[in-house]
A = this chain, B = another copy of it.
Amino acid sequence: MSLTAVPNLGPATALTCRECGQSYDLGPRYACEQCFGPLEVTYDYSNVSRERIEAGPRNIWRYRDLLPVPPNVTETPNTEPGFTRLVRSDNLAESLGLRSLWVKDDSGNPTHSFKDRVVGVALAAARELGFKVLACPSTGNLANAVAAAAARAGIRSAVFVPSNLEQQKIVATAVYGGTFVTVDGNYDDVNRLASEIAGEQEDWAFVNVNVRPYYAEGSKTIGYEVAEQLGWRLPDQIVVPIASGAQLTKIDKAFQELITLGLVEDKPYKVFGAQATGCSPVAAAFKAGHDVVRPVKPDTIAKSLAIGNPADGPYVLDAVRRTGGAIEDVSDEEVIEGIGLLARTEGIFGETAGGVTLASLRKLVASGALDPAAETVMINSGDGLKTLDAVAAVARPSANIAPSFDAFRKAGLA
């Protein structure tokens, strides 16, 4: 790989170890050489202003002065994710007994999940760093996002999935072309293989492995958008699903940055986490008062959150505890109820992760952890069309009739 000698990643200045603070030049690194801690992007924020943001495009690139991407990022073909709807949800609020609730609906992204954001940033950084192939291990949303983004960018993709993946997810990824490999094994096997390949194929950027520090920053844009769409202010409470935990920690980072930069008023906010009980290592650690997250073997219908050993688990605990939030977990039955409640009250069909988040929000209200009088935002991170099986048993027609007005009348539907 011909590494770009001095990559221009806009405001990004270095990679810094989250554990020991060791600093590195920007490059294709993801773990600290001293302590093996994860690396995080640090910035020179001097170009940031509300005016520059508001003059930008209606997608994540309006925040490019806060992201590790080249200044000309809008000029190279990309899927232009972000600036999804922040939906004022009075029906749902009333149903939950909340005074003020918003749903940040990331199903509106190009491939219908928040993954388009992180992949967009990873692609931009990877190209500048000199990588030639955009790759990932995945079980669904990430596979869609990587294959679509690479197609649009005109570069090769290489997506690895477990071979027992549902047929519909295989179709929805394979359609974009690129290299698409099913692997005889579970997601952990696929992930391990991806790390091995990343070590050998030096011009392959596995977005969630060897360019993860850049990739993860993409989730900050959810936090920026929520604040901007509320009129440049922070909500009192935000409820975020936890898979690896990166989405939650990056939304928190975004809020902190906005405060530091004076783009929003400095005020307290609480970050809440949501997991499915069948994969709830972070919720378990939170409830037990532990700092360490003990890995679990996932068993839940919420596949997109089924990471048994979440890389950012400890940082999630830090953010939630620092802000005075909490982490809740819910059964698969509650997830299904949550999907239905969101659809029936607000006309938003979320994927299982959305059901987890809504059901956890409901439980947090019931337990008193979440203040029903305070302004709340919840994230819907993906689309129900991708997890139809989860609700197939309960989402049924009201009636079946013969094609006549008489049959209609007799069915009591008038």
Contacts and interface: CB of A to CB of B under 8 A. Distances in A.
Contacts of A340: 175, 177
Contacts of A190: 403
B110 A110 contact: no
Interface string A363-397: 00000000000000000000111101001100111
A411 interface: yes
A5 interface: no
B395 A174 contact: yes
B384 A349 contact: no
A172 B404 contact: no
B181 A401 contact: yes
A55 interface: no
Contacts of A182: 397, 399-401
Interface string A187-203: 00110110011001100
A405 to B, nearest CB: 5
What secondary structure prevails in chain A residues at the interface with B? mixed
Contacts of A181: 397-401, 408, 411, 413
Number of copies: 2
Interface stretch (A21-29, A144-152, A237-245, A323-331): A144-152
A174 B391 CA distance: 10
B339 A201 contact: no
A360 interface: no
Nearest to A169: B388
A80 B349 CA distance: 15
Given A111-B349, A177-B343, A185-B403, 8 more contacts: A91-B151, A111-B347, A150-B347, A175-B340, A179-B398, A179-B413, A183-B401, A184-B402
23 contacts: A58-B58, A77-B91, A85-B110, A108-B110, A110-B347, A110-B348, A112-B383, A112-B385, A152-B348, A158-B413, A167-B392, A168-B388, A171-B391, A172-B388, A175-B344, A181-B411, A182-B401, A184-B403, A193-B403, A193-B408, A196-B408, A197-B408, A383-B385
